[in-house]
Amino acid sequence: MMNLRRMRVEDVAIPKADIVAVPDTITKAELVQVFRDSGMTRLPVYSGTLDTPVGMAHLKDFALKHGFNGSGQRFDLKKMLRPLVFVPPSMPIGVLLTKMQTERRHMALVIDEYGGVDGLVTIEDLIEQVIGEIEDEHDIDEGRNFSREKAGSWLALAKTPLEEFEAATGLALTEDDEIDEEEIDTLGGLVFMLAGHVPARGEVIPHPAGIDFEVVDADPRRIKRLRVRPHTEATGVPAAKPAPPVPARVESAPSTETASADPAPAEPASGTQRA
C-alpha cells in the first residue's frame, strides 16, 4: 500500500511515444485492424493529433454495433466514444485509482502543463502496484524476447538478439549474401536493413529465406514488436522482393522506454497499455 501513497502517475504512465491511439477519421476496416494488431480492447481517439483527444473507443461497443462481418450499419465512431479521464503527472496513484473506480473508468491520459498528452495509465497499471504484475494474454513471457504463436509463427520484440532468435527457431536469417551479420544485432535492425526505412505498423517485410516480418507495433521512429511467419501464411502468394539493404550499422535496439521494442517485459517504472 506504500506505493499508492508514494508513487505518482508519472512513475507508472506509458510514454506518449508508446501509446496506441487512432484518429477520429479512421475507417471501420482500419479500426478493426488496429484492434487485431494491437491486442487492445480500449483505444484513445484523437482529432488531428494525440494532443487533441476526443474520447476512447471500446472493442465491446464496436462489436455490439457492427460486429466484424461487414455489418451494413453506417459507421460513426464519434457516437461510440466513451469519455476519458485527464490527470496531471504529479497526482498520487492512490488518488487516481480511487477516481477511476468511482467514475468506472479504465483509462486515463496524463496531461502536461501545456495541455498536451504526456502519457497514458490504465487501471490495471495502478492495481499492479499493489498486488504485483497481472498476466496478460498478449504479454510476452517475462525474461523472454519472443514467444511461439503457432507452428512456424513467432511474436518477438524488435530488440531480440538475432543469434538468440536463430538458435531457438532454427531460422537462418543472416546467411544471405546481401545481409552482413556484422552490421546488425537485433531483429529490428535486420528488418530496418531489409526495408530501407522504418516500417509502419502493419507493413510486411519479406526476407530472402522465404519468411515475412510483419510489423505488429511501431511508431515513426522505431520498430517495437514483430511477427515472424512463413511468407505465404497471410496471403497465399509470394511476398515482394525486399529493398536493397542499408549499409549503415544498426545498433542493438534499446528498451521500450527509450527506443526500439514494444512493451518491454516487466518494467516496474512505467506502465503498459492494456487491453
pLDDT the model gives residue 223: 84
* Residue with the larger pLDDT of the pair 167 and 129: 167
Map out the domains of the chain as residue ranges.
Answer: 2-131, 140-263
pLDDT the model gives residue 220: 66
Q: Choose the weakest-confidence range: 63-72, 75-84, 218-227.
A: 63-72
Residue 260 in this model has a pLDDT that exceeds 50: no
pLDDT the model gives residue 47: 94
Average pLDDT over the chain, rounded to an integer: 77
Identify the CATH number of the domain defined by range 140-263. 3.30.465.10
pLDDT the model gives residue 57: 93
DSSP string, the chain: -HHHHH-BHHHHPEEGGG---EETT--HHHHHHHHHHH--SEEEEEESEEEEEEEEEEHHHHHHHHTTTT--SPP-GGGGPBP-EEE-TTSBHHHHHHHHHHHT-SEEEEE-TTS-EEEEEEHHHHHHHHH-PPP-TTPPPTT-SEEEEETTEEEEETT-BHHHHHHHH----S-STT--TTSB-BHHHHHHHHHTS-PPTT-EEEETTTEEEEEEEEETTEEEEEEEEETTTTTSSPPPPPPPPP-S-BPPP--TTTTS-SS-S--TTS-----
- Mean per-residue pLDDT, 41-54: 93
- CATH 3.90.550.10: does it fit domain 2-131? no
Residue 50 in this model has a pLDDT that exceeds 70: yes
pLDDT the model gives residue 51: 93
User: In terms of pTM, does the model score above 0.75?
Assistant: no
pLDDT the model gives residue 271: 52
